[in-house]
Structure 1
Amino acid sequence: MTLSRAKRLAPVIDMAEKAEREAARQLGHFQGLVGQAEGKLGELERYRSDYQQQWLTEGRNGVSGQWLMNYQRFLSQLEGAIGQQMRSVAWHRQNLDKARAVWQERYARLEGLRKLVQRYQDEARLAADKREQRLLDELSQRLRQQES
């Protein structure tokens, strides 16, 4: 009886496994997007650092007002791009956190179902062992009665 309960759960476990695999795939996808966004942010920050280093180099030799205005304008645009990329990284991290929560929930559900099936299988084995022991006891008792 309990073994049939375990077998009836097989389609449910299949669906839960598919849902967990899809959630894991989504989690990997969002991890990749976070990595890409963080990479772009790193590139922008390195570019800003290089550009600031150029200011130090050029500044020692003296710069024109036009060069300084262009430098400040470009640096301002670069700071804006960095800020926007930081927001993008944060947004991707939020999506990653949501995907991780979905995966954890689906994984926990799948593990719960697997434990339930294992319990049903253990109960079925125990019941079968008891039936077998009862049959052996009856057979042994009959043999003793026949010997007497």
Structure 2
Amino acid sequence: MSERARRLAPVVEMAERAERDAARKLGHCQGLVSQAEVKLGELERYRGDYQQQWISEGQQGVSGQWLMNYQRFLTQLETAIGQQNSSLQWHRENLARARELWQQRYARLEGLRKLVQRYLDEARAAQDKREQKLLDELSQRLNARRDD
């Protein structure tokens, strides 16, 4: 390994850890978004079921007290849906930030890996050049001895 590539090894390791941490956080945020979407879906289905109950009960006639309770509960349910929508939006924004951070960390890591590879390629090319020069010198010496 070339000296320059060897000196970059700790930096690459740190970048790998940072990228893994960012990927882990991204996965966690994706899970939270999924949970928030499921919860919102459940609340909306529950609201639909509750409204269907209103239609069924309303056809048979309802008391004023039942109607007031229905309206109060429906208002609470709408509030909960609104709050869940806000929560979902907040989680999506966090997910977007986590994705952006992971992309930055990943790009930095890939840049470092390419730099290390370039250093290794340069070192290999320099070594090949030295070996070729040595072989050329040996070949010239052998030819010079044959001529003597």
Range into which the TM-score falls when normalised by the shorter chain: over 0.9
Aligned to 1:115: 114
Aligned to 2:50: 51
Aligned to 1:6: 5
- TM-score, length basis structure 1: 0.97
Deviations 1:59-110 (A, max 9, x none): 1111111111111111011000000000000001101110111100000000
- TM-score, length basis structure 2: 0.97
RMSD between superposed Cα atoms in Å: 0.9
Return the letter of the residue paired with 1:71. Answer: Y
Aligned to 2:80: 81
> Residues 1-148 of structure 1: matches in 2 within 5 Å?
3-148=2-147
Deviations 1:108-138 (A, max 9, x none): 0000000000000000000000000000000
Return the letter of the residue paired with 2:17. Answer: K
Q: Distance in 1 between matches of 2:14 and 2:107?
A: 14
For structure 2, which runs of at least 5 residues remain unmatched after alignment? none
Q: Distance in 2 between matches of 1:138 and 1:53?
A: 94
Q: Distance in 2 between matches of 1:6 and 1:30?
A: 35
For structure 1, which runs of at least 5 residues remain unmatched after alignment? none
Ranges of 4+ aligned residues in structure 1 off by more than 4 Å: none
Q: Distance in 2 between matches of 1:76 and 1:50?
A: 15
| Structure 1 stretch displaced more, 127-136 or 64-73 | 64-73
Q: Distance in 1 between matches of 2:7 and 2:95?
A: 35
Deviations 1:35-63 (A, max 9, x none): 11111111100100000010111111111
